[in-house]
Amino acid sequence: MIEFVLLAFGLFIMLFGALGLVRFPDVYTRLHATSKCDTGGAMSILLALAVSVNAPLLIRLKFVLLAFLIALINPMLSHAIARGAYKRGIKPKVVVDMYGGGNP
C-alpha cells in the first residue's frame, strides 16, 4: 500500500512543478518551482518502484542509486543555471536583489 501513496505523491508533485514552470513570471521563480518539485517527485516515484518490484536485491539497489544520483545532480544543475543566467544579465523581477549587492 505504501507504494501507491509514494507514486501518487510523486506524480502530483511533478504536475505542480510543471504548472509552476508555465505560470511563474521569472527565470529564478521558475527554477525555484521546478528544481525542488522535480527532485522530490522523481525520488518519491523511484523509491515506490524500489519498494514494490519483485526482483533481486541488486536491481532494487539500482533504483535507490538512481534516486541518489537525481538528488545529487538536480540541485547542482539548478545552481549552475541560476548563476549563469545572473551572469548573463537577466535581472530578477523582485524588489530585493541580494546577490547583486544593491541593498542595505
Partner 1 sequence: MAEENFLVTLRYAVWFLVFTAAVVSYRVVFGPTLADRVVALNTATTKVVVMVAVLSVVLDAYYLLDVAIVLLMVNAVGGLIIAKYLEVGR
Closest by CA to 37, choosing from 75, 3, 85, 4, is: 75
Is 41:104 a contact under the CB 8 Å cutoff? Answer: no
Nearest-approach distance from CB 96 to partner 1, in angstroms: 20
Nearest-approach distance from CB 100 to partner 1, in angstroms: 16
Interface residues with partner 1 (CB under 8 A) are 3-4, 7, 11, 14-15, 17-19, 21-22, 27, 30-31, 34, 38-39, 41-42, 45-46, 49, 52-55, 59, 62-63, 65-66, 69-70, 73-74, 76-78, 80-81, 83-85, 87-88, 90
The residues, ordered by sequence, that sit 6+ positions from 67 with a Cβ below 8 Å of its Cβ are 42, 43, 46, 47, 50
Cβ-based nearer residue to partner 1, 57 or 104? 57
